[in-house]
Amino acid sequence: MLLKDKNVVITGSGRGIGKAIAIACAKEGANVGLISRTIEELNNTKKEIEELGTGVKVVVKPADITKFEEIEKAFKEFNNELGLFNGVIANAGYSRMWATHEFINEKFAEILNVNVLGVFYTFKAAYPYMKKDDKKDKARFIITGSEAYPHAPSRLTAYVASKYAVVGMQKAMTAEYKKENINFTMVLPTQIDTSLLRGKKAGDGNKPEHVLNPWDLNDYYLFLLSEDANRIDNGLIFTYDFQEVKKVLTEAPSEKRENWEAFKDYFKEKAPKSYENVKNLGKLIDFIITRS
């Protein structure tokens, strides 16, 4: 098991991407701490994990990540029940779409509060309890970003601002916490079939083909939490590029599919743009090949 006995806390784990990550971590042996505002959804995630029968600990704490006292209390309690954290995933997020000149002021502020202030609060509340003593297996702080960085789609100004902001925050924090053995990485998904993108239609079985399922991202988070990613710091995982990797892998001759070393020149020829974004993440491609 990849994450046996590790402790991972995931915000926004009541549904969508965070729920998929929590289940994937538990399948790999990690004890998990779950946060969102909706206790019923958190309990559903907990129930699904318990039904796996892996015996991991699942701790649920409803909290609003835009309220520091709430999240500070939640992380303290996670620490009491789980111990020090190997990984913290700042995944909770929020978005709304309007023309910029019509954007409701309070909604603009709310998006920044959840997606930027919420990431800062998550780190600040988690920091005292992150495991900082192991150079060979560093603590991980992983942010769920978005392809809104750098593509900046229109009518999403607040969301775009927030997802640009966390890229800058990650860079600053990487330098600041290097000596303390905390690595910072980000997964930047394309469109995913969750309520954030599709509202009540999420999971209805009618998603457009290019829209991925939340669990299609699991390998990225699992890899970033694993010992194989110990040297990856300030990493940006653009999921579009790794979907390209997966697609080209299915078409490649078998001898090219063995590992990154055998695959890389073939991939460079087939998808030169994506190659530039993945060429320093060969270990993740080996991970994908091994698990496929």
Ligand X SMILES: NC(=O)c1ccc[n+]([C@@H]2O[C@H](COP(=O)([O-])OP(=O)(O)OC[C@H]3O[C@@H](n4cnc5c(N)ncnc54)[C@H](OP(=O)(O)O)[C@@H]3O)[C@@H](O)[C@H]2O)c1
Residues numbered 122 to 141 that lie near ligand X (CB under 6 A) are none
- Shortest Å, Cβ 66 to ligand X: 5
Is residue 18 within the footprint of ligand X (CB under 6 A)? yes
Helix (H) or strand (E) segment spanning residue 288: helix 282-291
With b meaning 16 or more CB within 10 Å and e meaning fewer, what string describes 64-91? bbbebebbbebbeebbeebeebbbbbbb
**What span, in angstroms and rounded, lies between the C-alpha atoms of 45 and 13?**
7
From residue 136, give the alpha-carbon distance in Å to each of 37, 165, 227, 246, 284. 35, 30, 8, 29, 18
The residue range among 36-44, 243-251, 272-280, 284-292 that interacts with ligand X, by the rule CB under 6 A, is 36-44
The residue range among 88-96, 170-178, 222-230, 258-266 that interacts with ligand X, by the rule CB under 6 A, is 88-96
The residue range among 62-70, 171-179, 225-233, 271-279 that interacts with ligand X, by the rule CB under 6 A, is 62-70
Query: Going edge to edge, which strands form the sheet with 182-188?
Result: 58-62, 31-36, 7-11, 87-90, 139-144, 182-188, 235-238
Contact letters for ligand X, residues 193-232 (x by CB under 6 A): -xxxx-----------------------------------
Q: Residue for token digits 């991991």?
A: 56
> From the list 1, 4, 5, 38, which residue makes contact with ligand X (rule: CB under 6 A)?
38
Size of the residue set binding ligand X (CB under 6 A): 29
The residue range among 169-177, 186-194, 254-262, 268-276 that interacts with ligand X, by the rule CB under 6 A, is 186-194
Do residues 123 and 115 make contact, with C-beta atoms less than 8 angstroms apart? no
From residue 51, give the alpha-carbon distance in Å to each of 9, 26, 33, 87. 19, 11, 17, 23
With b meaning 16 or more CB within 10 Å and e meaning fewer, what string describes 141-174? bbbbbbbbbeeeeeebbbbbbbbbbbbebbeebb
Q: Which is nearer to ligand X, 16 or 33 (CB)?
A: 16
> From the list 192, 224, 248, 288, which residue makes contact with ligand X (rule: CB under 6 A)?
192
Q: Which is nearer to ligand X, 66 or 277 (CB)?
A: 66
Is residue 15 within the footprint of ligand X (CB under 6 A)? yes
Residues numbered 233 to 262 that lie near ligand X (CB under 6 A) are none
Q: Which is nearer to ligand X, 39 or 172 (CB)?
A: 39
- Shortest Å, Cβ 41 to ligand X: 6
Among 67, 49, 68, smallest CA distance to 58 is for 49
Q: Which is nearer to ligand X, 106 or 255 (CB)?
A: 106
- Shortest Å, Cβ 13 to ligand X: 6
Is residue 167 within the footprint of ligand X (CB under 6 A)? no
Q: What share of the chain is helix, strand, coil (3-state, %, to 5)?
A: 55, 15, 30
Binding positions for ligand X, rule: CB under 6 A: 11-12, 14-18, 36-38, 41, 64-66, 91-94, 114, 118, 144, 146, 189, 191-192, 194-197
